[in-house]
Amino acid sequence: MKTIEDFNFEDNKALIRVDFNVPLDDEQNVTDTSRIIGAKPTILKVLEDGGSAVLMSHLGRPKGEAKPELSLAHIVEKVSEIIGVQVKFVDDCVGEKVQEAYDNLQNGEILLLENLRFYSEEEKGDAAFAEKLSAFGDIYVNDAFGTAHRAHASTTIVANCFSEAKCFGSLLAKEIYAIEKVMRTGENPITAILGGAKVSSKITIIENILDKVDNLIIGGGMTYTFVKAQGGKIGDSICEDDKMELALNILKKAEEKGVQVHLPVDVLAADAFDNQANTQTVSVDSIPDGWQGLDAGPNSLSKFKEVILASKTILWNGPVGVFEMENFAKGTISIGNAIDEATKNGAFSLVGGGDSVAAVKQFGFEEKVSYVSTGGGAMLESLEGKTLPGIAAILT
């Protein structure tokens, strides 16, 4: 696996696919800089070697139209501030204007191209468009894990134009190593914590990881499909009735493979989906009518903590309660604290998936776990065992 550490970029121009699809407020200010910070080591490595960097990214979903509100011009100053180098910008990503800016680019400089998705050819994976992009670099570097699951022109097809002169950036390499550590090389016991609302969104992940893990902690809204399938009373809790048979099959498969499944034993139930609702702690299989489980209860959290602290490798994907509401965030915070403690004791911990990453950021666990994945969909597809086209393109 070739990474930027295998190349010396002196007098070379690196064409780097970054993931600068960052959130902007109404005034087009960047509200979360983590993806820009994540790309910094790769960009600096190129510059410190004595090369220059051409950055390409998408922003939002313009669907082939040049929409001013989605121009990467809005992030130039923030990127310059974070990297520590004034970034040059060109308001296109192919064509004569870009060629001129590229030809004038000196060692130590950075050029940011306009939003790739202003061209519909980007998402179509158009080979001719990819070839035009390939003219703007001597070496291709993919550092955009968040889009590695898409066979787009800039993430996958362009790599075919570079033969041996292609590699992973440091961020993407870290993502690959982190997932490998959980899925293939992790030290036992390995524990996966899966939360979120629906079993249906996690089926493929669960089926794929049952061969890899020793413990599976199930939390969040998924819980109630499993509990109801086993004959429990779940009141008005969220439930996928059409997935109950699947839930039972998952439990059966886990048992056959020797995987310990840990479901909540008690929950914090509410009489409405509201932070100010009346609450009571009840057994997970005895939730009264008119009440719904919105967080894991104290006995569940005690049980989960015990499992987590005994683990050497931990994957966390999905919250165990409605953490967006303060009164139902305790479970998710408790899981974070347990993972923090396990990590301090030497465990490797990987957090991935939109809601769990949001929770980790909200409650200050970012620096307390081993790795926080930057790619939502890409992370999930990796856990499902799929080969991501953006990764395969560098390896071939």
**Residues with active-site annotation:** 35, 198, 354, 377
154 a known binding residue? Answer: no
SS3 106: coil
What are the start-end ranges of the E strands in 352-389?
371-372
Exposure b/e, 14-45, CB count within 10 A at least 16 = b: bbbbbbbbbebeeeeebeebebbebbbebbeb
CA angle (126, 130, 132) in 5-degree steps: 120
150 a known binding residue? Answer: yes
Rg, C-alpha atoms of the chain: 23
Residue among 22, 139, 5, 144 at smallest CA distance from 76: 22
Residue among 179, 174, 193, 167 at smallest CA distance from 12: 167
58 a known binding residue? Answer: yes
- State the Cα–Cα distance between residues 105 and 114, nearest whole angstrom: 16
17 a known binding residue? Answer: no
98 contact partners, CB below 8 Å, separation of at least 6: 90, 92, 113, 136
324 a known binding residue? Answer: yes
81 a known binding residue? Answer: no
202 a known binding residue? Answer: yes
356 a known binding residue? Answer: yes
| Torsions phi, psi for 59 (to 5 deg) | -150, 115
Strand bridging mode 260-262 / 233-234 = unpaired
Work out the end-to-end distance of the chain between its first and last CA atoms, rounded to an integer number of angstroms. 10
Q: Report the Cα 308 to chain-centroid distance in Å.
A: 21
211 a known binding residue? Answer: no
Residue among 316, 269, 320, 314 at smallest CA distance from 291: 269
Q: Which two tokens stand for residue 78?
A: 């923030």
What are the start-end ranges of the E strands in 60-100?
88-90
61 a known binding residue? Answer: yes
Task: Give Cα separations from 92 to 102, 200, 295, 296 (angstroms).
Answer: 12, 41, 48, 50
355 a known binding residue? Answer: yes
117 a known binding residue? Answer: yes
59 a known binding residue? Answer: yes
**AA letter at 295:** D
19 a known binding residue? Answer: yes
Summarize the annotated binding site for substrate as residue ranges: 19-21, 35, 58-61, 117, 150
Summarize the annotated binding site as residue ranges: 19-21, 35, 58-61, 117, 150, 202, 293, 324, 353-356
Summarize the annotated binding site for ATP as residue ranges: 202, 293, 324, 353-356
